[in-house]
Structure 1
C-alpha cells in the first residue's frame, strides 16, 4: 500500500530540512515543499530531495494568465517533482495550460500529478461570503471548482477532508483528494478552519493527507509518521525499531 502521508516541510531553509529528514532517508516518503522554502532555497533544494529519494509535492499554487502558467509548468516539470498545484479559480483555460506545460516536458505518461486548490482550509463560510463575495455555500463552491478541475484534465484537488465525500460524489472515486489541515487529536488547529485528524480523514475518503506541525514539531517525528501510517494499515520495518 502506498503511503498517503505527505510531510509539510515548513522550515525556513535547507539547514533545518537536512536535520529533519535524516531519520526519514530510505522511506521514499512524500514531502511538501511550499512557497517559503522554495522561494528561499530554489530548485537546488528539489534536486537535493530527489537525490535522497523523496517524492515531492511542490506546493506553489500557481494562479496567473494561461500562458504564464503553461510556461511556468514547463520549468517545474523539468525539476522532476511528483505533484504540483494551481488555483482552480484561475479557470479552465489556465488549468488546461498547466497540463500542456507539464506534458510538453515530461510527456503525458510521466508528468507530475496536477491538482487544483478549491478553497484554502483557512477560508471559513463567513469569509467566503463577506470577503470573497461568493454567495454559494462552501459545499457548492468547492464542488463547482472540483468539477471544473476534472473537466480541465487535472488529476484531483486540494480540499478540506470534510469536503471529500461530496467531491468524490460529483467527480468519481478515482479523482484524487489531497487534504491539508490534518491535526492529531491533541494538537492546536492554529490558522486552519476545516480540519480533521488522520483517522477521520481516512474515513472521509482522503487519498493523501498533508501533515505539518504534528510531525515536524513532534519529539519523535519518525515515530509520529509511522503511527499515522499505522492508522491506514501501513506497516514497515521502522515499527520494530
Structure 2
C-alpha cells in the first residue's frame, strides 16, 4: 500500500518566479490489487504527484509511505518496491532493447537465469521480438514505450506507476498492455497510471482520481465519478469537475 498524507509541493516563491502550488494538501491511499487511473489537465499535478511518490522531487509538506517505508527518509529502499514508467522514457540509445531491460534488472539486484527468463517473458508479452536486439537509437515512440515499460516491470515490483503507458502504441500492443495490467492487478499489485484517454480509464480502472488545481476533486469508481460530475459519460463528468474546481479556485483568489 502507498499512503499519502497532506502532501503539498510548491515551486518558485521568489522575486523572479511567482509561487506555483503544484499540489495542495493531497491525502489518499493507493491499495494493493487495484488499478487506479489518474485524470487531469496538463499542469494539474499528475506528473508532480508521481515524481513525489518515486522520490524524484522533495515534497514541500506531507508524507509518502510505501509499505511502511518513508520515501523522504528511506528513499532507496522505498524505490525497490516501485516500477516506474516516467513521462520521459530516457533509454540508453546505444544499448539494445534487451540490454536496456537487463541493465535495469541488474540495478535491482537480479542476475542469471531468473533475470533472462523475466526479460524473455516481457518481450513476449509486449510483442518486442523484432526490436529486442536492436539499438534503441532510432526507435519510434511506441518502441521506446514498450522498452521502458518492460524495464519498469523487470524486477516484478509491488507497485507500478505508469505515466501515459499506451502513448504511441499500436492497437495490438495496447491490448497487450491492458492484459498485462490486469495480470498485475490479479497478482495483488498496486497500479497507478495517468492517461488522457477516457475510454481507457473507464474500461480499465477500479478507481479513478481526478486532479485539478493541485487537489483531488473526485475519487471513486466510474459510477461515483459520473455521479459527482453529474454526467452520463466520463469525458463530460471530467470536464464538469475540472471546470467546477477552476471556478472555486478563482472565487477563492478573488475573496
Give the TM interval when normalised to the shorter protein. 0.3 to 0.5
Relative to its length, the structure with more strand (as a share) is 2
The TM-score, its normalising length taken from structure 1, stands at 0.38
Relative to its length, the structure with more helix (as a share) is 1
